[in-house]
């Protein structure tokens, strides 16, 4: 991690991140980039250096009807897949839309006036533009928020694509009407925003909770000796760990450890193994007053 040069900077959370994809019949499989007047700005982004990408139009009524049949099957398969992926990470995205204007009738993944921060996000976040096999991740440290990309995967091989100070981020919202309930909306201080797919519901929830102060993310160095021993034992049973474990201190004082690993069943999705422990490293169950852990 050549970009992590400050000895006082710790990675708090690291998860997959791509521009999200619509779920509702009219916008299924689509995404748009908008200004605050709802104009398409893809041409402006290409003019600013982005490579060309696909042009989408909302599905017509006829297409919607046929799409609903396919969506019903796809949703059923998605639910089954979710159960196989991780019994604690279920979500088919078939719940009630929270923002119909931007989830049913349209599906912007960037909402940004000229000169705003959202427009500075890297084009590599778009699955339709980046090279095959290229991955992009969101990283939050105690100093900044970064987007990194790699052809090999993992932070060790990643290049910084863009970065922001933490105070540039005004709001983080978990968007549950999404594939595996894994979407996240990041709103910047200038009110521009982007919608991202994180690959796992746990990732979207934890980022929202961290920003809202419900949980406090800890670096591995902050764990007690007992917690470090339990973390090492837990990781020893993981088949593969391209993502480092993350640690969230819950209101009760319980430590929530999460280990993300690529799914064998769905590209771009992730299994999340969960471990709860007390201050001494002893495993415990959910505690009253803590946010529910999927």
Cβ-in-10-Å burial (0-12, 13-18, 19+) of 90 comes to: middle
Does the structural domain 11-212 have CATH classification 2.30.29.30? yes
Instruction: Give Dmax over CA atoms of the chain in angstroms.
Output: 61
What is residue 141's predicted lDDT score, i.e. its pLDDT?
Answer: 96
The rounded distance, in Å, linking the Cα atoms of 42 and 276 is 44
Count of positions (residues) in the chain: 294
Per-residue pLDDT reduced to its tens digit, 237-283:
887 766 889 999 999 999 999 999 888 888 889 999 999 999 999 99
pLDDT at 155: 79
Q: Where are the domains of the chain?
A: 11-212, 216-277
Structure tokens at 111: 């909402």
Q: What span, in angstroms and rounded, lies between the C-alpha atoms of 265 and 263? A: 5
What pairs with residue 50 in β-bridges?
Answer: none
Per-residue pLDDT of 60-88, as tens digits, reads 764 544 444 444 444 433 433 333 333 33
pLDDT tens digits for range 28-53: 999 999 999 999 999 999 999 999 99
Q: What share of the chain is helix, strand, coil (3-state, %, to 5)?
A: 25, 25, 45
Going by DSSP bridges, is the β-strand pair 32-34/270-277 parallel, antiparallel, or unpaired? unpaired
Q: Can you give the pLDDT at residue 242?
A: 67
CB atoms within 10 A of CB 112: 25
């Amino acid at each position: 991690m050549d970009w992590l040069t400050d000895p006082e900077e710790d990675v708090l959370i690291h998860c997959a991140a791509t521009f999200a994809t619509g779920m509702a019949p009219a916008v299924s499989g689509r995404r748009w980039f908008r200004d605050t007047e709802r104009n398409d700005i893809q041409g402006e982004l290409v003019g600013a250096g982005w490579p060309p990408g696909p042009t989408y139009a909302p599905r017509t009524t006829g297409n919607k009807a046929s799409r609903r049949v396919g969506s019903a099957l796809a949703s059923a398969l998605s639910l089954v897949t979710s159960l196989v992926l991780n019994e604690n990470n279920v979500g088919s995205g078939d719940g009630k839309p929270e923002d119909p204007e931007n989830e049913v009738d349209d599906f912007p993944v960037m909402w940004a006036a000229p000169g705003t921060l959202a427009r500075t996000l890297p084009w590599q976040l778009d699955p339709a533009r980046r090279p095959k096999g290229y991955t992009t991740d969101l990283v939050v440290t105690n100093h900044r928020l970064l987007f990194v990309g790699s052809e090999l995967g993992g932070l060790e091989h990643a290049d910084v694509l863009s970065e922001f100070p933490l105070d540039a981020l005004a709001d983080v919202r978990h968007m549950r009407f999404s594939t595996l309930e894994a979407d996240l909306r990041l709103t910047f201080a200038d009110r521009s925003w982007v919608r991202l797919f994180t690959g796992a519901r746990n990732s979207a929830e934890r980022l929202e909770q961290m920003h809202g102060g419900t949980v406090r993310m800890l670096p591995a160095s902050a764990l007690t000796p007992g917690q470090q021993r339990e973390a090492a034992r837990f990781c020893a049973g993981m088949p593969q760990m391209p993502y480092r474990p993350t640690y969230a201190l819950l209101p009760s004082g319980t430590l929530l450890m999460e280990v993300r690993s690529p799914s064998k069943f769905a590209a771009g999705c992730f299994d999340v193994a969960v471990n709860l422990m007390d201050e001494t490293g002893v495993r415990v169950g959910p505690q009253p007053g803590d946010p529910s852990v999927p």
